[in-house]
Amino acid sequence: MKCTFELNSRGFIKQRESFDLEFKQAFHFGDSLAEYMRSIVGMANNKGGEIIFGIKDKPRELKGLQNEKFEECDPNKINQFVSQYFSHEVMWNMETHEIHGLKFGRLWVEEAPQKPIVCSKTYKNILREAAIYYRYRGETKEICYPELAQILLNEREKEKRLWLNHVEKIGQVGPQNIHLIDTFNGEIHTGKGKILLDKSIADKLKFIKEGEFSETQGAPTLKLVGEVTGIVDTSTAPKSDVLYPYRFGDLKDKFNINNFQFQAVLWKLEVKGNPRYHTEISTSRTSSTHKYSKEFSSRLKAIIERYPNWVKDTTEEYKKNGR
């Protein structure tokens, strides 16, 4: 996404602060950093967003950065602050843009893959322990009940999608060829088949090396220690059409894009292989079909509405990368 502004006849910015956009005139350290991170975490708990530095408020005027503080900011300092004051990782980045001969700072964040992000420690009167910050239209504050209830509902839906993904993998390989342990993302290949490692009980499992490398087999002997509980009831797993209702043809018509543009979008947003957005279902031994979630459709819609030229720019970038 590009840092762009639409100006009115007097040269002021038309855009207003919203649930995913905040303006600041200058970048500072100290307490201001805590305020920025409160906004960033609030956006991550919503749909993601950005803070643009170098914009004067009332009226919203392009001023640009007046010093080098933004460029000199060490990202590790921000990472340390986030890890110290919030419950888990925040996917953020910072960059500078030059527009109309002026330099602007952009601090942006992706929507959190796991919600809610909770404040784990109080910082003066800016951050409160156990608070969940959420970005509303034009302000960041502690979350209200309707938004929190929706987040918890969405997290349960994501868990259902993960169940479906595992069941589909079993169907592709055949239950007689798979040992499903329900642990960390990844796979362990054994002499008799494949063990899929699922994330949900990763912290409950330990691999203990019992011996040295075998001269004949070339691999160490491992013992699996841990408690595995729960039974997968495939009859209660949601159908793929519920979790992934869209095919390419549906999205092509909905967003008026061609196949090459769609491939560029999938590449840019890293959609394939991400169970939040995509699943691949085998239809035979040699073919499969790709399906996409409502969450992917909603995210693409939000991007296009905010950045009308985003698909065009992404397609050009896709071409330049030799795709």
Per-residue pLDDT of the chain (323 residues; tens, 9 = 90+): 456 678 888 888 888 899 999 999 999 999 999 999 999 999 999 999 999 999 998 888 999 999 999 999 999 999 999 999 999 889 999 999 998 899 999 999 999 999 999 999 999 999 999 999 999 998 999 999 999 999 999 999 988 888 888 777 767 767 666 655 544 444 454 545 444 554 444 444 544 444 444 444 444 444 444 444 444 444 444 556 778 899 988 998 999 999 999 999 999 999 988 888 898 877 666 677 889 998 899 999 989 988 889 999 999 989 888 76
Q: Given this model, what pLDDT does residue 36 score? A: 97
According to DSSP, residue 110 is labeled P
Radius of gyration of the chain (CA): 23
Q: Given this model, what pLDDT does residue 22 score? A: 95
How many whole angstroms separate alpha carbon 84 and alpha carbon 244?
37
Q: What residue ranges do the domains of the chain occupy?
A: 21-143, 157-236, 239-320
Report the run of H or E that residue 255 belongs to, with start and end: helix 248-255
21-143: what fold?
3.30.950
3 state SS of 70:
helix
Half-sphere exposure of 173 (CA within 13 A, CB side): 15
How many whole angstroms separate alpha carbon 290 and alpha carbon 301?
19
Positive/negative CA dihedral, 248, 251, 256, 257: negative
The alpha carbon of 190 is separated from its chain's Cα centroid by a whole number of angstroms, namely: 33
Residues 6+ apart with CB under 8 A from 145: none
How many whole angstroms separate alpha carbon 95 and alpha carbon 239?
42
Q: Given this model, what pLDDT does residue 240 score? A: 65
